[in-house]
Structures are given as C-alpha cells and as structure tokens.
Amino acid sequence: MKNMNRREFLGTAGAFAGIMALAGCGSTGGNTASTTTAASSAAASGDMQLLTAGKLTVGTSPDFPPFENLENDEYVGLDMDLAKALADKLGLELELKNLQFDAIVPAVAAGGQVDLGISGITIEPEREEQVDFSDPYYIDDLAVVAMKDNADVTVDTYADALNQAGVVIAVQSGTTGESYAQENFPNATTQPYGNATDSFAALQSGQANAVVTNKAVGAKMVADAYTDAQVIKEIATGEEYGIAVNKDNGGLLSAVNDALAELTSDGTVDELTNKYFG
C-alpha cells in the first residue's frame, strides 16, 4: 500500500493465508466455484448496497505489481484475482475502476463511484476515520531501493546517506512509503509521484537517490523492469492490508468478510499466494 498507506512478510503464502487463518478459517483446498454460502446469501438478501444491481464495482490503482498492474490492458495481480474471487463468491459481476491510489479511500468514503477499494491498502487509523475495512488479508513491509552503482547508499549507510539536504527520495503519493520517508529522512526531500513506475523511473534517470516502497513491489520492480537497481534494506513494518468499504454499508462489509473467510477455507487464498509468491 500509506497515510493513505501501503504496507518482513510472514513468508510468501503465509503472509496472505496466515492472516486469513487468524480471521477464522483453516485451508482445506478446493475451488472458486460459486455455491450457496453465507457470502452469496448476504448478496442475495439485498442487505448490502451496490452502485449497480448485480455488479461489484472495485476501485484500484493498477501500478503496484505483483498486487495490481495493467498488462495488455488487462488487470492482473494478486489483488485483482482476489477481487474476481470475491465477486464470484458474492454472485456478482466484477467491474474494476482505475483510480490514482490516493483517490481510492476518498472515493469509497464519498460513495457514488465504487463499492470497494482493493489496492494494497494498509489498515491504519487515519483511513479508518473515513472508511471501514474488511478483516486483514495480507501482511507486508517496506523496502528502500537504490541504484546498484550508488556506493553511498548501502544497507550499512542508507540511514545517514539518505537523511541529507539535497537527497531526493521518490515515493508513490499517499503511501506508507511516503510517510516513512518523511518521518525517517526529514533532511531529505520526499518527492511523491502518482504511481510506482514513475517513482522508479525517477530513480533510474537520476532524479531521485532512492525509492521507498512496499517490499514485494520493490522486489518485483528490480527483478523485472529496473534490473540496474536493488533493494538495499527491508523495513519490518508489519502492515495489514484490508478492503475499504463505505461506513454506511455494513451489509457489504459483512458479506466481504464472509467471502474472505470462505476463500481461505476453500483453498483459494493458498492458490493465489502460491501463484504470485510460491
């Protein structure tokens, strides 16, 4: 995920499945087929409010791989698969709406644009003043990324090296990465960008000395697109991701929590974490 916030994993599948097990269910293996369940029954009862009947409209910022990304105009990633599985459990058609990350929580809070926000959103008090959150479904950390040829920024020196006047730290706007950089490198300039790709592009082009981002996103970016950069420090923040729901939509919140529990019980959570982190 932030102050509009994002995100050591509990370990690949454990981070995602473990937190859901704490929420109430163990994994037994299974499939994503829709059945008559507590979640689908709640959807059928009409207790939950939807923008469009029969449709689940989800706001996301698809520039945060491996959680959400656009590939050939297709929404892909762990969160996107989760959104599809949730919609299936609820017996609804899924519609994804592309929003800038820091606009998702306000959009959910205001109503009229999306039913849910699913986009690596950290559950934190400031956000909880605006929206309700589902049970947590993932635990994550932060990371500091720098160019491989930057001898000044290493695992041993980064704290002092980055906390200097003239240093620029790129972050995604509204994320916990932004908050962390501002609080821990107060002498540097924290430069927000609208998405993760622009933050990494600034690093690669020399406009920034480092990026602070989610641990999994940093690892994915340097492995796939920015191979001349490296993760120099992982920061154990233990942030819990949740699904944002409007405060006046308790029926939908209840249905989402039922669906999350069922997706843990039927093995879907394990399948998703193994797909992206196995």
Q: Rounded to whole angstroms, what are the CA distances from 195 to 50, 94, 130, 192, 198?
A: 28, 23, 22, 9, 6
Global model pTM greater than 0.85: no
- Which pLDDT score is estimated for 28? 31
Task: Tell the burial category of 177 from Cβ atoms under 10 Å away from its Cβ (0-12, 13-18, 19+).
Answer: buried
For residue 103, name the pLDDT band (cuts at 50, 70, 90).
very high
Q: What is the DSSP string of 76-139?
A: ESHHHHHHHHHHHHHT-EEEEEE--HHHHHHHHHH-SS-SEE-SSPBP-HHHHTT-EEPSP-EE
* Cα gap 101→232, rounded to integer Å: 25
d(CA 230, CA 99): 28
CA 104 – CA 174 distance, rounded (Å): 10
Q: What is the DSSP letter of 5?
A: -
Residue 179 pLDDT > 90: yes
Angle at 106 between CA 101 and CA 111, to 5 degrees: 125
Give 65-75 pLDDT, tens digit per residue: 999 999 999 99
Write the pLDDT tens digit of every residue in 10-24.
344 445 545 554 444
CA pair distance 102, 187, nearest whole angstrom: 24
Q: Which residues pair with 61 in a beta bridge?
A: none
pLDDT at 2: 42
Query: What is the pLDDT, as a whole number, of residue 270?
Result: 85
Cα 154 from chain centroid? 27
- pLDDT category of residue 30 using cuts at 50, 70 and 90: very low
**Parallel, antiparallel or unpaired: strands 244-245 and 132-133:** antiparallel
What is the pLDDT confidence band of residue 37, given thresholds at 50, 70 and 90? Answer: low
Residues 186-234 pLDDT 10s: 999 999 999 999 999 999 999 999 999 999 999 999 999 999 999 999 9
Average pLDDT score, the chain: 87
Instruction: Return the pLDDT at 16.
Output: 54
- Which is nearest to 6 in space by CA: 194, 236, 171, 177? 177
